[in-house]
Amino acid sequence: MSQHANSMSDGMPGDLALMQAHLDSLAGQIAFLRMELEARTEEARRKDHIIMALTQRVPELEPVRDEGRGLRGYRDPGNLRNPGDSHSAPVLVA
């Protein structure tokens, strides 16, 4: 019996080669995913830095101090609504 036929009959060398090829493929996929993870982590850091820088530049808004009138500039335009339209939105006026 030839050595090739002998190695195929016990099943080991062929199986080992197939397993090694599969392991090599998985190792390549893991390396790719690690590079992707590093890139995404760096991208998230950059985004966080940009958001932090922008929020520091926005001045803090002061609350409105007009307790007597409610909402400033609000007027119920009852006379502006269509007679059949009960879903018209209120209008803010300057």
Q: What is the pLDDT of residue 49?
A: 97
Domain ranges of the chain: 3-92
Report how far residue 88's alpha carbon sits from residue 5's, in angstroms, rounded to the nearest whole number. 87
Q: How do the pLDDT tens digits run along the chain, 94 residues long?
A: 445 544 445 557 889 999 999 999 999 999 999 999 999 999 999 999 999 999 888 877 676 776 665 555 555 555 555 555 555 555 555 4
Token digits of residue 43? 């991208």
Q: What angle do CA 10, 12, 13 make, to 5 degrees?
A: 115
Ramachandran angles phi, psi of 63, nearest 5°: -70, 150
CA distance 51 to 58: 11
For residue 71 the two structure tokens come to 């909402």
